């Protein structure tokens, strides 16, 4: 059974040897992704891919991790989650270079940003936070399935608790419909992140996948250009009072990625650190979860490499 008590977690002492393991982390050029890369690199994985959209920032982040962990087997992987072509290219690079994938950390994300569509026409936050990661997961599934003990960690948040009665407005996910503001767009994408992990677990019972909430963490999600006044208010009036440092905020995803498998249950959602609360609200909406799964599968039809 999953733990219901908050465990102490010290990355230096509690992350086991990662010798022989292959890891991929999205959004690894800064914030939680970069900190995860640094902490995991200290434990000697055979290969750690730090994926990011910007080659300049990604290469700089890799160099910083290597400087702090001499000899670490860390490499940059160019990955723009708002482009299916970029996702396919990144997945092919990984598939061609390794026969295993032990940890896939779906960490990257956007929050409350100005309205925009992805290359395939999805609203940028749902397109990046959910659809991009769903395609990447689908393409790397063969590696995960052939790797004993492989696990996937999906970055959700507590935002799903603030979804309105509209839940996920599917008819707006491929448009810039102004009825749905940037913050609500973000909330919908985080609802998708946690429900999709639950559905993925049900459809792939041989793979361990969980979603996690890192808590409110001081990352550049809260410093990027706001999409509207609601997001601006969050950045200036709310966030500074509640955020924690990255070194603390990273603990939940590191726990989820490396804790003994018997401490996790596939499909569940964990809050900091390693705490599974009884499902409530949208987490109990099996009809919505099934609709999200079906909608996503239909959107990804034909997207193979």
Give 68-125 as a DSSP string. Answer: HSTT--EEEEE--TT-HHHHHHHHHHHHHH-S---EEEE-----SPPP-B-TTS-BHH
Dihedral sign for Cα 231, 232, 237, 241, please: positive
Is 186 a catalytic site residue? yes
Other Cβ atoms less than 10 A from the Cβ of 148: the count is: 7
Using the CB atoms, write b or e for 17-49: b if 16+ within 10 Å: ebeebbbbbbbbbbbbbbbbbbbbbbbbbebbb
Cα 268 to Cα 103, 131, 157, 174: the distances in Å are 17, 20, 13, 28
Q: Among 130, 243, 245, 104, which residue's Cα sits nearest to residue 186?
A: 130
Q: Among 224, 214, 203, which residue's Cα sits nearest to residue 105?
A: 214
- DSSP strand E in the chain: where? 22-25, 47-52, 74-78, 103-106, 151-155, 208-212, 269-270
Catalytic residue among 122, 186, 196, 270: 186
Determine whether 98 is exposed, middle or buried from the number of CB atoms within 10 Å of its CB (0-12, 13-18, 19+).
middle
Largest CA distance in the chain: 51
For residue 32, how far is the Cα from the chain centroid? 10
Q: Which residues are catalytic?
A: 186
């Amino acid at each position: 059974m999953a733990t219901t008590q908050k465990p102490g977690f010290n990355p230096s002492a509690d992350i086991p040897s990662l010798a022989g393991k292959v890891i991929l982390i999205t959004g690894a050029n800064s914030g939680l992704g970069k900190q995860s890369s640094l902490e995991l690199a200290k434990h000697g994985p055979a290969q750690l891919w730090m994926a990011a959209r910007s080659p300049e920032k990604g290469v700089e982040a890799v160099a910083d991790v290597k400087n702090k962990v001499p000899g670490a087997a860390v490499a940059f992987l160019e990955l723009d989650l708002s482009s299916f072509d970029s996702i396919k290219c990144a997945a092919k690079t990984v598939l061609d270079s390794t026969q295993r994938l032990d940890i896939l950390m779906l960490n990257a994300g956007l929050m409350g940003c100005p309205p925009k569509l992805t290359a395939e026409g999805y609203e940028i936050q749902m397109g990046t936070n959910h659809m991009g990661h769903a395609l990447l997961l689908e393409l790397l599934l063969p590696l995960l399935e052939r790797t004993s003990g492989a696990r996937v960690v999906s970055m959700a948040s507590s935002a799903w608790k603030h979804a309105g009665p509209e839940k996920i407005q599917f008819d707006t996910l491929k448009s810039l419909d102004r009825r749905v503001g940037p913050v609500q767009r973000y909330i919908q994408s985080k609802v998708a992140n946690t429900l999709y992990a639950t559905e993925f677990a049900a459809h792939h019972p041989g793979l361990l996948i969980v979603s996690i909430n890192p808590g409110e963490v001081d990352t550049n999600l809260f410093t990027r250009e706001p999409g509207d006044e609601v997001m601006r208010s969050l950045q200036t009036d709310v966030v500074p009072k509640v955020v924690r440092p990255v070194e603390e905020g990273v603990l939940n995803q590191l726990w989820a990625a490396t804790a003994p498998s018997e401490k996790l249950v596939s499909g569940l959602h964990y809050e900091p650190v390693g705490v599974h609360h009884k499902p409530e609200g949208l987490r109990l909406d099996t009809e919505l979860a099934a609709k999200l799964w079906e909608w996503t599968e239909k959107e990804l039809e034909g997207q193979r490499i």
